[in-house]
A and B are shown apart, each in its own frame.
With several copies, the nearest count.
Chain A
């Protein structure tokens, strides 16, 4: 007896700064410029979230997930991306999409139930994924294309802790491992998949170590430490771009808001847990870091908030000016090359709507 080997449990999350914002001893920190860039996006994310939730309450957009509390992970990752890298993420990575160049107007349009694309030329991103896990094999496919074309670029494939249970998560990560593709898998473990806590999602001690099951190096990082997230992602992305293959990152963070505007988190998690995490809000933590490092200009946050509000105000206005989607557009978007019969069928559908005055 005693042949079975117990699963190891020996991970500590990587941190570059302490909760109070002070750098930990002997760490290498990103430049002030990078730190400020990350902070700027974190503030933008916070304001974006507020704005989207308020638009939803006003009935101006549909159901939307809150990203509050996860700005450090999203921005740390986003700033580490280069223009030529691909982003494959979900509704929880809206901030990373914004950092990567997707205009706020496109995302607002998406949540207004309109056509969010095409994204501007040169912005390499898959659509914001709603079907949990589906982006993972797709990211492997993007990675395969980069590898075949020998482009020095990487793909980042993002998902949540819950998503790691899906078959597609497994198939995508395994494919990238087996073919040595330039993909960084980035899991935002925010503690919950709607009402299901991380511990009931998988018995694995960490999500990070799942990377080993696919033969790739892995890191567990404090997802509320944006500098650590940035540095880990930078390493992983550079490795990928240089032909070093895939890697796997778990960023431990917390969803401070509801899952979406349709969710009532008080049904399943205690207020005390949320309160504790409010105290670990990554935004003030990052601000404390900048202040301690002496690179925080007076009134910076307020100024960035103001800027964000202006940008978002314009984006909302532009989105609301877009004419609503027509049935013709839906047909146009179904086929790139309509067959003659498909065209006849389109005309018939449109005629049916015209007949009853719905068009």
Chain B
């Protein structure tokens, strides 16, 4: 079937609801409205309002209710309407969901998924464009997954729902409807914790995830004209980070550029750089570059195009590492 990213998410949810009687979907406006991005469109009609549930407007409780459901053996998929509101769920997820297994000596598990659209350059209001994966990637006990394609979105989501650990699933809003691609009908999974080589190359490694994978691939295409062959790694899971795939690539290329749209300081990019220099130090021929959001809050819409890493900024960073 052909699907764009948000349709792939919807298809994944439908399959989980059909095949797993313990699965249910909850969040703000996920019911009759089908979610503000239509990710849950039609699900309440098909599965009823007991399995596709509108919640009160209260994100901490969405996560906390999810924990309770999971503790009772269900497999909730909670939607947070925009990733910016993941600040509000930080306590329930960080202090509770991510630690339920530890605190109960493995007696209770938090098999649950928290989905949220994330990212910028879509001219949304205040706090609707933020990328908070780093906060949760610093929070061991929850896996953090960001698909970059429709295929990965469905496969990773189904893997996340059946994973016994809690998973934060961040969907790149900017490419929700960016492109349609052929994806398999029915259930398939893409393994969590495994990066993917999105493009092979020999001269430099570009590490990206989510919406920035497309931008990185465009940069790689452009660089090809300059006879630069960039390898593009799509992390897919940023926690636990699949450092090995990145290291393997950098050992080959000797150079790397890490890309994300979240603010620069203490972002996932820093972790990737730290890993590379820890494990591929002697292969490195130039400093690893980071192309990221600035060290400022996510800006006003009029400036956001300059904040989110562009193809040009990625390409320039590649050139810098090559001439270093």
Contact = CB atoms under 8 A, between A and B. Distances in A.
B311 to A, nearest CB: 9
A129 to B, nearest CB: 9
Interface string B22-44: 00100011011110100000000
B300 A114 contact: yes
A19 interface: no
Contact of B72 (A142, A166, A170, A201): A142
Interface in B267-321: 291, 294-297, 299-307, 310, 312-313, 315-316
Interface in A304-359: 324-327, 329-337, 339-342, 344-346, 349, 352-353, 355-359
Contacts of A341: 193, 240-244
B65 A144 contact: yes
A327 B303 contact: yes
B310 A262 contact: no
Given A130-B128, A134-B96, A148-B50, A143 B68 contact: yes
Most A Cβ at <10 Å: residue of B31, B61, B312: B61
Contact of A117 (B92, B103, B163, B165): B103
A241 interface: no
A263 B38 CA distance: 11
Contacts of B307: 327, 330
A14 interface: no
A89 B297 CA distance: 22
B96 A131 contact: yes
A227 B55 CA distance: 34
A29 interface: no
Given A138-B67, A145-B73, A341-B244, A174 B24 contact: no
Contacts of A339: 143, 192-194, 237, 240, 242
A163 B56 CA distance: 9
A336 B105 CA distance: 11
Contacts of B108: 117-118, 126-127
Given A118-B104, A340-B193, A146 B72 contact: yes
A210 B296 CA distance: 39
Interface stretch (A39-47, A192-200, A281-289, A294-302): A192-200
A113 interface: yes
Contacts of B76: 141
Given A138-B68, A174-B61, A175-B65, A334 B56 contact: no
A167 interface: yes
Interface in A123-167: 126-127, 130-134, 136-146, 148-149, 162-163, 165-167
B74 A202 contact: no
B124 to A, nearest CB: 7
Given A63-B124, A195-B33, A327-B306, A140 B68 contact: yes
Contact of A145 (B68, B125, B126, B313): B68
Interface residues of B, number: 91
Interface in B65-116: 65-74, 76, 84-85, 88, 91-92, 95-96, 100-109, 111
Most A Cβ at <10 Å: residue of B65, B163, B165, B300: B65
Contacts of B33: 194-195, 267-268
A115 interface: yes
Most A Cβ at <10 Å: residue of B55, B57, B124, B300: B57
Interface string A9-37: 00000000000000000000000000000
Given A171-B64, A327-B303, A137 B92 contact: yes
B189 interface: no
Given A140-B61, A345-B240, A333 B106 contact: yes
A337 B84 CA distance: 26
Given A142-B68, A341-B244, A357 B125 contact: no
Contacts of A112: 301-302
Interface string B234-259: 00010011111000000000000000
Contacts of B69: 141-142, 144-145
A136 B64 contact: yes
Contacts of A118: 104-108
Nearest to A333: B102
Given A137-B92, A148-B74, A337-B165, A165 B68 contact: no
Contact of A333 (B64, B65, B101, B163): B101
A168 B91 contact: yes
Contacts of B264: 345
B218 to A, nearest CB: 14
Contacts of A145: 68-69, 72-74
Interface string B128-162: 10000000000011010000000000000000000
A342 B109 CA distance: 18
Nearest to A352: B313
B58 interface: yes
B2 interface: no
Contacts of B106: 117-118, 332-333, 336
A195 B54 contact: yes
A174 B54 contact: no
16 contacts: A118-B106, A131-B91, A133-B57, A145-B72, A148-B24, A149-B72, A162-B57, A165-B58, A167-B58, A168-B64, A327-B306, A327-B307, A339-B194, A341-B240, A349-B295, A356-B310
Q: Which 10 pairs of residues, A with B, have the shortest CB-CB distance?
A: A141-B68, A113-B301, A118-B107, A339-B193, A137-B64, A117-B105, A145-B72, A195-B33, A171-B61, A336-B164
Interface of A: 62-63, 86, 88, 91, 112-119, 126-127, 130-134, 136-146, 148-149, 162-163, 165-168, 170-172, 174-175, 178-179, 193-196, 200-202, 262-263, 267-268, 324-327, 329-337, 339-342, 344-346, 349, 352-353, 355-359
